[in-house]
Amino acid sequence: MTESNYDEIMQLLCDRLSSLTNSDTQITPETNMISQLSIDSIKLLNLIMEIEDTFDVSIPINALTDIHTVRELADLVHKIKSAS
Amino acid sequence: MNLLEKLDAAAAARKSLLPNGVGAFGIPIEEVYSATEARIGDRRVLLFGTNNYLGLTFAPECIRAAHEAIDKEGTGTTGSRMANGSYFGHRALEREFADFYQCSSGIVFTTGYQANLGTISGLVGPGDTVLIDGDSHASIYDGCILSGADIIRFKHNDMVDMEKRLRRLGDRVETTLIIAEGIYSMLGDQAPLAEIVKLKNAYNCILLLDEAHSLGVLGETGQGLVEKTGLLKEVDFITGTFSKSLCSIGGFCVSNHPQLEQLRYISHPYIFTASPSPATIASTRAALVLLSKGSDLRKQLWSNCTQLYSQLEETGYLLGPDPGPVISAILDTPQQALQLWQSLLEHNIYVNLILPPAAPEGKSLVRCSVNAAHTTEQIKYVGDTFSKLYNMI
């Protein structure tokens, strides 16, 4: 997968997270989705379903255990997409 | 933030949802008078927030069986079946559940939660996949997490979405377990079992159906959604609980796959816990007889469900899609739900309050559970009170 695909993933995540939160926090790759954006678990799980559909991949929700920041989520999606 | 501060943060979040003095969660019930009435504080309330669907909590047959079991075998087994042995009642109940579902074998678990935990974590493991409905009960999520299998969700009851996710799995469908529920606990709707079975067969997966809320409620003999749809033989594993229609505590799994028996040796939630007490097993066995012969109770239950669902629908409440014993009024905000819940309690009606993220789609629910013992007058009073409060929210 190319760098531009990674950027596409990151952009999509930032856009979607922005629409899911009422927070004024500027969303960057280092933003913590739980502590800074207060994204609850169900919103996060629904976001994962959207990402699966956008990139036609399967993302196991148990892979989210160690995911805190937007960059970590983008890395995970990128890794799964690259392997598919 | 240290460990205790994390709990303080959780307590603060809970407090911010609920004004002082409102104990919507884990409300103290001082006395239970019957299957439909209890005392909360100094109020005699109507119980519309239990899962006592057939109204059997005070069935004389069950109470007598429990008394006799205590007299004969004592209050507890004091250990696990693996280490301390299986009583006659444990084995008899397993046989009776297997026979009830026309299956070759059955396993009894100490709670319904453990039935899902133990079955799921016994069936799948790391490298396998579970495909679950997005609105699955926490026991299903927790069982999947315990298993170490990859967890993929599909949109609630959306078969197009489910097939899309099955297709994406490719060769991994061979080691995929699909999990659905007979009746979903939040909105009271039923799984589209015929379509799920069609996909399960097309992709050659294994299917587990949790009949926790549908046992005793659906089907001529109360088997649940498998009986209502005539698809009993198409479901590989059926789990359920004793704590709803059977009015005790415990859970089960039945199957025609002989491999079910192996769960006794690999499933931690089965192995490392005390077995159900003699009284629990005895009352459950008596209740299972009443449940299987309880077509009149089911008729009454459905008449009651229809009465309340129709009245709330006519008033204008947004409800779950199917009438049934779980009837949820869907509200936009936690504040609306809290206000309605509190006002109902002030009118001596106890129902359940469910707030996000427990409720689906970010909504809040005021959930009623109807049972066969509710009288027409009790249901009318609840319906009239909901109507009276409609404009307030």
pLDDT interval class at A39 (50, 70, 90): confident
Res. B383: pLDDT tops 80: yes
The number of domains in chain A is 1
pLDDT interval class at A21 (50, 70, 90): confident
Strands B364-369, B237-241: pairing kind: unpaired
Q: What is the pLDDT of residue A37?
A: 83
pLDDT interval class at B44 (50, 70, 90): very high
The CATH number assigned to the domain holding A45 equals 1.10.1200.10
Q: In this structure, are residues B92 and B115 in contact, taking their beta carbons and an 8 Å threshold?
A: no
Res. A4: pLDDT tops 70: no
CB contact under 8 A, A49 and B134: yes
A-chain CB neighbours of B355 within 8 Å are: none
pLDDT interval class at B51 (50, 70, 90): very high
DSSP state at residue B232: G
Percent of chain B predicted with pLDDT > 70 = 98
Averaged over B22-37, what is the pLDDT? Answer: 89
Task: Please give the mean pLDDT across all residues of chain A.
Answer: 87
Selected residue of B120, B128, B140, B150 to mutate for chain A interface (largest A Cβ count, 10 A): B150
With the CA atoms of B256, B260, B261 and B266 taken in that order, what torsion angle do they form, in degrees rounded to the nearest 10?
A: 180
CB contact under 8 A, A63 and B150: yes
Distance between CA atoms of residues B337 and B318, nearest Å:
12
Res. B65: pLDDT tops 70: yes
Distance between CA atoms of residues B46 and B42, nearest Å:
13
With CA atoms as reference, report the closest residue to B71 among B212, B241, B238, B282. B282
Task: Please give the mean pLDDT across all residues of chain B.
Answer: 95
Q: Tokens for B136, please give them.
A: 């699955």
Averaged over B217-241, what is the pLDDT? Answer: 98
Averaged over B373-377, what is the pLDDT? Answer: 98
With CA atoms as reference, report the closest residue to B123 among B254, B259, B235, B226. B259
Q: What is the pLDDT of residue B263?
A: 97
Query: pLDDT for B304-327, tens place per residue?
Result: 999 999 999 999 999 999 899 999
Higher pLDDT, B230 or B356: B230
Averaged over A48-62, what is the pLDDT? Answer: 92
CATH 3.65.10.10 describes domain B60-292: no
Distance between CA atoms of residues B156 and B200, nearest Å:
16
pLDDT interval class at B67 (50, 70, 90): very high
B-chain CB neighbours of A68 within 8 Å are: none
Distance between CA atoms of residues B184 and B330, nearest Å:
15
pLDDT interval class at B348 (50, 70, 90): very high
The secondary structure of B325-362 as a DSSP string is SEEEEEESSHHHHHHHHHHHHHTTEE-EEE-TTTSGGG
Res. B72: pLDDT tops 80: yes
Q: Tally A–B CB contacts below 8 A.
A: 43
**Residue A54 burial (CB count, 10 A):** 14
Range name among B21-35, B127-141, B148-162, B344-358 with the lowest pLDDT average: B21-35
3-state secondary structure of B366: strand
pLDDT interval class at B19 (50, 70, 90): low
Q: Which residue of A40, A49, A57 is in closest CB contact with B153?
A: A49
Burial (0-12, 13-18, 19+ Cβ within 10 Å), B354: buried
Q: In this structure, are residues A20 and A39 in contact, taking their beta carbons and an 8 Å threshold?
A: yes
Q: What is the pLDDT of residue B6?
A: 84
Q: What is the pLDDT of residue B12?
A: 84
Distance between CA atoms of residues B325 and B296, nearest Å:
15
Averaged over B266-271, what is the pLDDT? Answer: 97
DSSP state at residue A70: H
Q: What is the pLDDT of residue B288?
A: 98
CB contact under 8 A, A52 and B168: yes
Does B155 contact chain A (CB < 8 Å)?
A: yes
- For B154, which residue in chain A has the nearest alpha carbon? A49
Q: What is the pLDDT of residue B208?
A: 98
Q: Tokens for B82, please give them.
A: 């693996």
Range name among A28-32, B90-94, B105-109 with the lowest pLDDT average: A28-32
Averaged over B279-307, what is the pLDDT? Answer: 98
A-chain CB neighbours of B148 within 8 Å are: 62
Q: What is the pLDDT of residue A84?
A: 79
Strands B206-210, B237-241: pairing kind: parallel
Q: What is the pLDDT of residue B358?
A: 83
- Does the complex come out with an ipTM higher than 0.90? no
**Cross-strand bridge partners of residue B47:** B350
Nearest chain B Cα distance for residue A56, angstroms: 7
Cis ω on the peptide bond leading into residue B357 (within 30° of 0)? yes
Does B134 contact chain A (CB < 8 Å)?
A: yes
B-chain CB neighbours of A46 within 8 Å are: 134
Q: What is the pLDDT of residue B319?
A: 97
Burial (0-12, 13-18, 19+ Cβ within 10 Å), B1: exposed
Q: In this structure, are residues B159 and B299 in contact, taking their beta carbons and an 8 Å threshold?
A: no
What topology does CATH give the domain B17-54+295-390?
Aspartate Aminotransferase, domain 1 (3.90.1150)
Domain ranges of chain B: 17-54+295-390, 60-292
Q: What is the pLDDT of residue B364?
A: 95
Averaged over A46-70, what is the pLDDT? Answer: 92
Domain around A56: 3-83
- For A20, which residue in chain B has the nearest alpha carbon? B362
